[in-house]
Amino acid sequence: MRRYGTALAAFSACALAGVLFAFALASGVGAQGLATTGSTTEPAPPALIPPGVTIGGIAVGGLSPEAATFTVQERFEQGLPLIFNGRPRLAPSPYALGATVRIEQAVERARNAQPGDEVGLTVLINGDTTRDYVQSVARRFNRESVDAALVLHKLRPKIVPERMGVTILRADLTATIHRRLTAMSRVPVKIRTQKSRPELTHRAFRTTIVIHRGSNRLELFNYQRLRKRFRVATGEKVYPTPLGRFRVVVKWRNPWWYPPNSRWAKGLKPVPPGPNNPLGSRWMGLSVPGVGIHGTPNGGSIGYSVSHGCIRMYIPDAEWLFNTVDVGSQVFIVSA
C-alpha cells in the first residue's frame, strides 16, 4: 500500500511538470527561463557619437551614426545663394557646382572621436563643373555697353540714354564658390562685376538743330528742350537745301567766300571777310559738301527760299548760334 502511494505521488509530479513545460513553450519561454528568475536579454542600443563632436562645423554629438549622416547630408545639400545687384538671384545646389562629399568616412571618424573633437569633412570639387556653371551665370548677366542715340520723334529730338556694360568677374566668382563649398559655408556670395562705359553718352547731344525747310525756321534744342527759334532762308527750288540728318563739321569766324563750282557762280571772285561777304561773319559747315549755316548781309531774304542751298540767318542770330553749338552737333533738315 505504501509503494502504491509513492508511485501515485511521483506520477502527479511528472504530470504537473509536463503541464508547466507546455505552458512555457506556448508563452515563448525556454526551460532555462523557468529555472531562473532573471529578465530576458534585449539588443544593445547603437553607440552614439561622443558629446560635443562636430563634423565640418556641424554639431553631431549625442547623435546616432544614421542621424549624424542625415544631419550632415541635409546641411551639405543646401543651395548657395548668389547675389547680383543687391538681390538674391540664384541658389544652385552644391552638386550643380561640382561638389561631392564623403560623409560616411567623417561619421565613422566621429564615432571614434573624443568628446569635443572637430572632425573634418572632405568636400571634393570638380573644377570644370564649377567653371561651366560660372560661365552660364556670365551669359545670363553680362551686358554689353550701349551708346546713347539721337532720333527725331514728331519733329523733336529724342535721346535714347546710354547703357553701362557689365561683365561678371568669373575667376573671382569661381574662387569664392570654391571657398564656400570647402568650408561648408552657405553665406551668400556677392557676384562682383566690372562696368564698361559706352563711347557715346547723352552729353554728345547737348545741342541739336532742327531746320524746317518748308516754313523757313531753325530750332535749337538743348538736349530735348527747345531753347530758341529763328527765322531763316533756305534753298530755292532749283538749289534746294538737302533733307536728312547731318552734323556741324567746321566753325569759321570771319570766313572768306569762295565761288563754288556751279553755273550760278561762274565768273565770281572770292570775297574776303567784311560787310559785303555773302557768309556774313560766321560759317558753320555741315557734313554735306557746300552747305552750311551762315549769316547774310541780305536781311531781306530771311523767311524765304532764295539761297543756293545754304541756311541763311540774320548776322546777330548766326553769331549767337555759332557761340552755342559745338562741332559735332546734330542737324536735322525736314520738309515741314
What is the residue type of 205? F
Residue pair 309/235 in contact (Cβ under 8 Å)? The answer is: yes
Helical (H) or strand (E) element with 131: helix 127-141
What is the residue type of 286? L
Half-sphere exposure for 3 (CA within 13 Å, toward CB): 0
C-alpha cell at 228: 530758341
Active site residue 310: yes
C-alpha cell at 317: 542770330
> How far is it, in rounded angstroms, from Cα 190 to Cα 172?
10
What is the residue type of 35? A
Which residue is listed with cell 529555472?
35
Catalytic residue among 178, 202, 212, 294: 294
Residue pair 287/246 in contact (Cβ under 8 Å)? The answer is: yes
244 class by beta-carbon count within 10 Å (0-12 exposed, 13-18 middle, 19+ buried): exposed
Q: What is the 3-state secondary structure (H, E, C) of 176-229?
A: HHHHHHHCCCCCCEECCEEEECCCCCHHHHCEEEEEECCCCEEEEEECCEEEEE
Instruction: Work out the end-to-end distance of the chain between its first and last CA atoms, rounded to an integer number of angstroms.
Output: 152
Look at residue 66 and give its three-state secondary structure.
Answer: helix
Q: Which residues are catalytic?
A: 294, 310
